[in-house]
Each structure stands twice: as C-alpha cells, then as structure tokens.
Amino acid sequence: MTFTKLIIATGNEGKYREFCDIIRDAAGEGFADGIIFAPDISRMIVDETGKTYAENAMLKARAWAEYSGLPCLADDSGLEVDALDGAPGLYSARVIHGKDSDKVSWLLGRLEGVSNRRARFAAALCLCVPGEYTLITEGYCPGNIAESPRGSDGFGYDPVFVPDGYSHTFAELPGRVKNQISHRTNAFRKLSLALH
C-alpha cells in the first residue's frame, strides 16, 4: 500500500476487524493506525443495488471515496451453496431479517436431509483511490456446510462453514488461520499483486 490512510467501507465490525488483520499481515503493523472504520466518520449507507458482488463493492468504495476524499476499500461477499443453486449468494446478509444466528438457522433448515453440502464463500474487493484508479479483485474459499453450528468466533455463516482441508468451522478456527485461507484474503492477495 502506498497511502497512509484507508477507509474500510463496512458497518460490520467483524468484517472490519478481519480486514485490519489481513492488511496488517500484508502491509506491516505500522499501517494499522491508518485504517479507518467507516462508521467512525459517517453513518452514510450505500444501497447495494448491483447485480454482482463486484458491482456492490464498487458502489460502496466509490461513494465513500467521493465522500471522504480518501482511499477506500469495500467488499461484497456471500455464501454460495450448491444444493441451493448458489443461494443465498448476493443476498447472504439480507436473505432474512434478524441476527446472524437466524440466517444460519434459515440455511440449515433449507439443507435438512440434503446430502450435498458443498459451498463456497465468495468475495469481491474494490479499492478506490480518488482521482487515480479503481481496482476490483475476487476471491473464493471452497468448503462444506456443517450439520449444526460450531464455534463462537467469526460472524455470519462462519459457525457452519468448514473450509476444504479442515475439520473445524471458520468459527472454531483461530482468526489467524481463517485469515490465511479466506475468500477475503484470497481477493486481497490479488489486490496486493495488482498494486505492485
């Protein structure tokens, strides 16, 4: 990263903390002071009207960069379940109203008695540097949906997502392990390569 401040355009504190860890690992501890949680400067809400993760990420990144005049990183991500034809996908965070646990219950209800538990997390990141450039990358993490929630870390569907090569859910794995393999990390690695 060649700038000293970066807005993370999300209202999700779990996602913000995850980004801080991912960026710290990539850019070094010293950059951490330059990471800004968007709600700390405004309660602005950007409507996610895009038809893809990339479109939604770009809408958020550009809106926040224009508002603040600062570089901005936004993401849109979702869980794509094979047996549900890719749902909840783009609507993962708003498939139903309620807490994360309600969404997990919704998912497990749809998969009751279903043997195919294959799924993947998908993320699109958009970095917008005002007056200079906009970059978009995508990343994925394949895995399976567990029969029941396990673990207390993470957020969203983490308690039921078991990444390939592991027997624990994202919510059971230490954050540093999740951040080595996650969809968001894979997208961020591509972004870092594009910046060099």
Please give the pLDDT value at position 195.
Answer: 82
Q: What is the tens place of the pLDDT at every residue in 50-88?
A: 999 999 999 999 999 999 999 999 999 999 999 999 999
**What is the domain partition of the chain in residue ranges?**
6-195
Q: Report, as residue numbers or ranges, the catalytic residues.
A: 76
Sequence letter at residue 130: P
Phi then psi for 120, rounded to 5 degrees? -150, 145
- Quickly tell me which residue has 């219950």 as its tokens: 105
Work out the pLDDT band at 28, boundaries 50, 70, 90: low
pLDDT at residue 103 is higher than 70 = yes
Angle between helices 183-195 and 13-27 (to 10 degrees): 40
**Averaged confidence pLDDT in the chain:** 93
User: Which CATH code, of 3.60.15.10, 3.90.950.10, 3.40.1050.10, 3.40.50.1370, is assigned to 6-195?
Assistant: 3.90.950.10
Distance, in Å, from the CA atom of 25 to the CA atom of 177, rounded to the nearest integer, reads 12
User: Of 16, 14, 156, whose CA–CA distance to 98 is shortest?
Assistant: 156
